[in-house]
């Protein structure tokens, strides 16, 4: 499973409250649409750090980095390549 699939699966299984509406594209706006909130971001960061071996710095905790699956994937892949 690649980084994007791991992130998407985690969001769908752990953060989406409406399980009947579980279709999610990589560009869907997660924060704006209410799919994730600040607590959800903190849970997601824990998942990323524990499962994908990245460390998210405080200065990276901006909405743009968590706006969509594509944005989160980009952040993680950048961290993995450093």
Which domain covers residue 40, as residue numbers? 3-12+27-81
Classify residue 19: in a domain, yes or no. Answer: no
Are 46 and 57 contacting, i.e. CB atoms less than 8 angstroms apart? no
- What string of H, E and C letters represents the secondary structure of the chain? CCHHHHHHHHHHHHHCCCCCCCCCCCCCCCCCCCCCCHHHHHHHHHHHHHHCCCCCCHHHCCHHHHCCHHHHHHHHHHHHHC
Classify residue 8: in a domain, yes or no. Answer: yes
Question: Residue 20: pLDDT above 80?
Answer: no
Classify residue 40: in a domain, yes or no. Answer: yes
pLDDT band at residue 10 under the 50/70/90 scheme: very high
**Across residues 18-45, what is the average pLDDT?**
88
Classify residue 65: in a domain, yes or no. Answer: yes
Mean pLDDT of the chain: 92
pLDDT band at residue 1 under the 50/70/90 scheme: confident
Classify residue 46: in a domain, yes or no. Answer: yes
Classify residue 22: in a domain, yes or no. Answer: no
Residue-wise pLDDT for 41-80, tens only, equals: 999 999 999 999 999 999 999 999 999 999 999 999 999 9
Count of structural domains within the chain:
1
Classify residue 21: in a domain, yes or no. Answer: no
Q: How far apart are CA 62 and CA 9, in angstroms?
A: 22
């Amino acid at each position: 499973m690649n980084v994007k699939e791991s992130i998407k699966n985690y969001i769908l299984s752990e953060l989406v409250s409406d399980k009947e509406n579980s279709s999610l594209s990589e560009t869907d706006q997660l924060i704006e649409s209410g799919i994730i909130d600040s607590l959800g971001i903190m849970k997601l960061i824990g998942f990323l750090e524990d499962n994908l071996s990245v460390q998210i710095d405080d200065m990276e905790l901006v909405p743009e980095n968590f706006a969509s699956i594509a944005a989160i994937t980009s952040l993680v892949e950048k961290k993995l390549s450093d």
